[in-house]
Amino acid sequence: MTGNLRHTLTGILCLLLSALAQSALRPHQELRDIFYGEILYYAYQQDYFEAIAHLDNELSQFYALDEPERDPFHWHLGQAEFAVGELELSYRMNLRAGKAIEAVLAANVAPAERNDAAYRLARLYYRKQDYVNALYAIERIEGEIPEAIQNDAAMLRAQIDVAVGKFSDAIQILEKMRGDDEYRGYVEYNLAMALLQNGETDRALAVLDELGQFSSDDEAVLALKDKANLKLAYYYLEKGASTDMTKARQFFSRVRLDGPFSNRALLGAGWVEVASKRYDRALVPWSLLHKREQTNASVQEAMMAVPFAYSKLNVHGKAAIMYGKAMEVFGAEIDRLDASIKSIREGKFLTALVSKQAEKDPNWVVNLRKLPDAPETRYLLELMAANDFQESLQNYRDLASLRQYLTRWLHNLDVFEEIIELRRRYYEPLLPVIEKQFKKLDSRMRLRIEQRDRLNERIRSLLILRRPEYLATADERAAMDRLKKMQAELDAAKIPANSETRYRVERLMGLLNWRVNTEFDARLTEAYKNLQDLDGVIDDLNKQYRSFVRTRQAATQSYEGYTVPIQQLRTRLRTTAARLKTIMARQGRVLEKLAINELDKRRQRLEDYQIKARFALAESYDRATKAQEKKLLQESAKKAASKPGAANFPAQPQSQQGNNENNSNNEADGNATPASEQGATP
């Protein structure tokens, strides 16, 4: 019983963890980067592969920036680094997720973030059933715990304590959590299981009884309520005392008729009545169960139990008829199982699992019952009850999804090559013409820059050495040159110094020099301002130059340098696709083997039922025949006794008749057994 309880507890805890894992990312601050928002969009759509791909891309680009603080992504860097492990964990990349979370724990982060990472690492190890490392990780939680995970961390700690055998510690934690609305029902059920494991049976039964009387609108809580009542009922049914039967009957009556445990409850309710020798009342729940889905194990057992009850009531004819119907149902079901196994071996099962309808439907697991009735999908829901099968199925679907990604990426590479070729055809005829115009502009710009540099040097020299003639206007410089030429001509003609002509020339020269010298400061200031204006024009030219260079580079780089990278990517994708095909085939074989093994078990059980039904049918016919013969003999004896001369024949003693009847009844009671109590041989 301990092994069964541990298995049941583990199943419930795994379901709880699955529910908690739905909230993989929790935004802690205002969204400031649109690309990080896109990552969150994919994550909340549970498209974790796209989210991981975009996040890895954003992080690699961010780390390659020269000034990463200018990228708005830096506001979300800490959350993004933590989200790496979260997304990989949600995508079931446990190894990489563990490394990412370990990196967060090793970094210098706030206590709240460290505790959050420790909790998620412990949850990761717990999912991998590595309970020792899970306990080590959960014990690293110290100090402030984020409010969003306080209850989650406490529940996980209790689960880990149960897994490692620290039942007393788990009981203390769960006792403190009782009354919490978020985990209402889960706490009580897990507490009861921990108490059972710890040997505190009475307390465990009391907690289960309390859980069995909960009122709630939550389907999960109602399912736990039914499970608690079912466990209590079977516990008392196994004890076998008359008072225990009364309690078992009470707990079976609490289970809902439309709940997930109703079939087992109806079956158990019938066996309670059988244990009390009330076979007519056992027929009530078994008859209800008899009309339900015939692929269910409880229904199949009920198909053997109902005629067993009729045989106990000495209605052997009815029992024989129902045994015959059961054999027909079992035979038809065996044929369907054979067809399903054959369909699985032909590969139709895997094709149905990765159908396009399932790809478009995020709730494909819930809507499996809506799939068309085909051999490859008939037992899919029952098969998925096994955790190993479900994990293998999810792995196979992930591999199928990756195969589609690879196919799409290979197609995208062809599209990129086509776009690059279109760009080449567009830009290559234009670039030579633009390049020619650019060279003319470049030569003119270089000339103007050289002129500006010479003016700048001359103006700077004037600040040190006063040279007014450098700032003379063109007219003034021409007038000075003309006057100097006239002076030279006067000197050559030996004109006297006191002549009127020489006086007038010298007077004009003095006037020009006076003007140039007196206006030097104003002219120097104006020249400096004009030089600054010229600097602005030069800056505009430089901007146009750089803009052209960037545009030319962008145009050139939009179609050059892509050939080799694309070929490398195409080679990597094809290599990965080949590896993926091999891995997918192996995973598909594992999945088919799990399905076939499960169906084989069902087939073996039905064959056992069929054999037992065949012998029970023969026995029921034999008893019905004997009862009919006995009835005919009694009627003949009555008729003979009523005829004249009947007193000449000795009558059978009453005691002997009673003994014969008792022997017949004892024989009937001793040979008929319920299907669940019969062995492999009749």
Q: Is the pLDDT of residue 681 over 80?
A: no
Q: Decide if 160 contacts 122 (C-beta within 8 A).
A: yes
State how far the Cα of 392 lies from the Cα of 46, in Å rounded to an integer: 19
Q: Which residues contact 134 (CB under 8 A, 6 or more apart)?
A: 122, 123, 125, 126, 160, 163
Helix, strand, coil content of the chain in percent (nearest 5): 80, 0, 20
Q: Is the pLDDT of residue 670 over 60?
A: no
Q: Is the pLDDT of residue 1 over 70?
A: no
Q: Is the pLDDT of residue 505 over 80?
A: yes
Q: Calculate mean pLDDT across residues 175-186.
A: 85
Most confident range, picked from 88-97, 421-430, 529-538, 657-666: 421-430
Q: Calculate mean pLDDT across residues 429-442.
A: 82
pLDDT tens column, 206-253: 999 999 998 888 888 899 999 999 999 999 999 888 888 899 999 999
pLDDT band of residue 182 (cuts 50, 70, 90) is confident
In a domain, 162, yes or no: no
In a domain, 179, yes or no: no
Q: Is the pLDDT of residue 356 over 70?
A: no
Q: Is the pLDDT of residue 358 over 60?
A: no
Owning domain of residue 558? 430-563
State how far the Cα of 25 lies from the Cα of 547, in Å rounded to an integer: 43
Q: How far is CA 489 from the centre of its chain?
A: 104
Q: Which residue has the tokens 């200031």?
A: 525
Q: Decide if 300 contacts 330 (C-beta within 8 A).
A: yes
Least confident of 173-177, 301-305, 489-493: 489-493
Q: Calculate mean pLDDT across residues 85-91.
A: 71
Q: Is the pLDDT of residue 527 over 70?
A: yes
Q: Is the pLDDT of residue 16 over 60?
A: no
In a domain, 69, yes or no: no
In a domain, 461, yes or no: yes
Is pLDDT larger for residue 461 or for residue 236?
A: 236
Is pLDDT larger for residue 541 or for residue 364?
A: 541
pLDDT tens column, 34-62: 888 888 888 888 788 888 888 888 888 88
pLDDT band of residue 160 (cuts 50, 70, 90) is very high
Q: Is the pLDDT of residue 20 over 70?
A: no
> Which pLDDT score is estimated for 74?
81
Q: Is the pLDDT of residue 83 over 50?
A: yes
Q: Is the pLDDT of residue 10 over 60?
A: no
In a domain, 490, yes or no: yes
> Which pLDDT score is estimated for 195?
92
> Which pLDDT score is estimated for 418?
92
pLDDT band of residue 129 (cuts 50, 70, 90) is confident
Using CA atoms, how far residue 682 sits from 107, 175, 330, 607, 614, in Å, is 69, 50, 18, 13, 10
Q: Decide if 75 contacts 66 (C-beta within 8 A).
A: no
> Which pLDDT score is estimated for 262?
92
pLDDT band of residue 599 (cuts 50, 70, 90) is confident
In a domain, 559, yes or no: yes
Most confident range, picked from 22-36, 55-69, 252-266: 252-266
Least confident of 226-235, 550-559, 595-604: 550-559
Q: Calculate mean pLDDT across residues 347-374.
A: 62
> Which pLDDT score is estimated for 47?
82
Q: Calculate mean pLDDT across residues 70-82.
A: 80
Closest CA to 162 of 182, 184, 138, 140: 138
3-state secondary structure of 293: coil
- Provide the 8-state DSSP code for 148: G
In a domain, 539, yes or no: yes
State how far the Cα of 231 lies from the Cα of 644, in Å rounded to an integer: 68
pLDDT band of residue 2 (cuts 50, 70, 90) is very low
User: What is the percent of the chain where pLDDT is above 90?
Assistant: 20
pLDDT tens column, 376-427: 666 766 777 666 777 788 888 888 888 888 999 999 999 999 999 998 898 8
User: What is the percent of the chain where pLDDT is above 70?
Assistant: 82
Number of domains in the chain: 1
Residue-by-residue DSSP string for 535-553 = HHHHHHHHHHHHHHHHHHH
Q: Calculate mean pLDDT across residues 514-533.
A: 80
> Which pLDDT score is estimated for 650?
44
**Neighbour tally for 84: CB within 10 Å:** 20
Most confident range, picked from 69-73, 386-390, 662-666: 69-73
Helix axes 150-164, 2-20, angle to 10 degrees: 160
Average pLDDT score, the chain: 79
pLDDT band of residue 577 (cuts 50, 70, 90) is very high
In a domain, 509, yes or no: yes
> Which pLDDT score is estimated for 11?
42
Q: Is the pLDDT of residue 15 over 90?
A: no
Q: Calculate mean pLDDT across residues 175-194.
A: 87
> Which pLDDT score is estimated for 357?
52
Least confident of 97-111, 294-308, 485-499, 645-659: 645-659
- Could you tell me the two tokens for 26? 């929790």
- Could you tell me the two tokens for 18? 């699955």
